[in-house]
Amino acid sequence: MKTIPRAESKEGIEEEPIQGFRASPWRHAVSAFILFHLVAVVTSPFSFSTQSIDSISPVAEKMYGGLGRYIDITFLDHGYAFFAPDPGESYLVRAYIPQADGEELVVMFPDKHAQRPRLYYHRHFMMTESLNASWVSAEPPLEPEEGISNRSEAMKEYALNFKMWKEARERYEYQWNAIENHLKTQYDVESVEIERVVHYLPRPIDVLERGKSEKEDFYDAFYFPISEIDNLPILEGEANPTLPPNPNPNPTAEVLPTLEGEQP
């Protein structure tokens, strides 16, 4: 019978006779599966960190192609890019709900005063962030012009892009409609309108100039509705000199919808 060194314990036993897992062929199978699993664990964040606006590392693409199904099934599809590349603005949803008296109820999601406990609030926050991250322009990709060289190749690429755009756009519209429908049921009304809202981060200079940052209304100046046409903030009538840069229209969402940036 073989022996293996046993982990040092207070009992002082140094060796333990075993039927020999470490000597059995099963060890190789287990080792192979561990390796396979670890490669799968690395593949998703590796793919995420090696993608650019319009391309992805061929190595990462190959790895993902081979392991994607296992990654999906086991819920390993994460980039782990918490608060990265930079902490950014928040994306919310504002709902306009008509009332029986003719007034309009305006509700913002998430709302940390209305939604408690904090995890309950955070679920709504992630939902509105997710809606924003899945935004895809309503305009389809442009068809290649007549008479260009390699038009047949360009048309193949266009067909693929169009299919991706259509699927992504449908997903976005589905989420949008689902939120509206849920609110109609919740408030028992015929129609609800929603809009996406961006909430920019105040900079240190804003805090110094405006002060009173512990007051809730300090943050009001940093809300802007987002245009559904170009996914940019609508600044009309909002002469706010302190708008920070980096509106981040999330250009990668169309390339790899499953590898969006993450919030912790």
Partner 1 sequence: MNSALHAITDWGKQVFQQWDEFWYAPKLPHTLAIIRICTGAMLFYTHLIWAYDLNAFLGPNSWIPADGASEIAGQRWLWSYLWGIESVPLLWALHIAALVVFAMLTFGYYSRIAAGLSCLIAIAYCHRLESMLFGLDQINVLLAMYLAVGPCGAVWSLDRYLAKRKATNTAVLPDVLPTISANVATRLIQLHLCVIYLFGGIAKLKGDLWRDGSAVFFSLSSYEYQPIGVDLSSWVAWPILISLLTHLTVIFEVGYCALIWPKLTRPIWLMLAVGMHLGIMLFLSMPTFGFIMIVANMAFLSPEFVRSFSQRRQSPQHDHAESGT
Beta bridge partners of 56: 51
Rounded to whole angstroms, the Cα distance separating 158 from 83 reads 34
Q: Which of 259, 262, 251 is nearest to 136 (CA)?
A: 251
Min dist. Cβ of residue 192 to partner 1 (A): 12
Torsion 42-45-48-50 (CA) sign: negative
Rounded to whole angstroms, the Cα distance separating 246 from 87 reads 11
Nearer to partner 1 among residue 114 and residue 232 (C-beta): 114
Min dist. Cβ of residue 151 to partner 1 (A): 28
Nearer to partner 1 among residue 21 and residue 238 (C-beta): 21
**133 contacts 250 by C-beta, under 8 angstroms:** yes
Tokens linked to 226 = 């987002």
Min dist. Cβ of residue 184 to partner 1 (A): 8
Min dist. Cβ of residue 201 to partner 1 (A): 5
Torsion 250-253-256-260 (CA) sign: positive
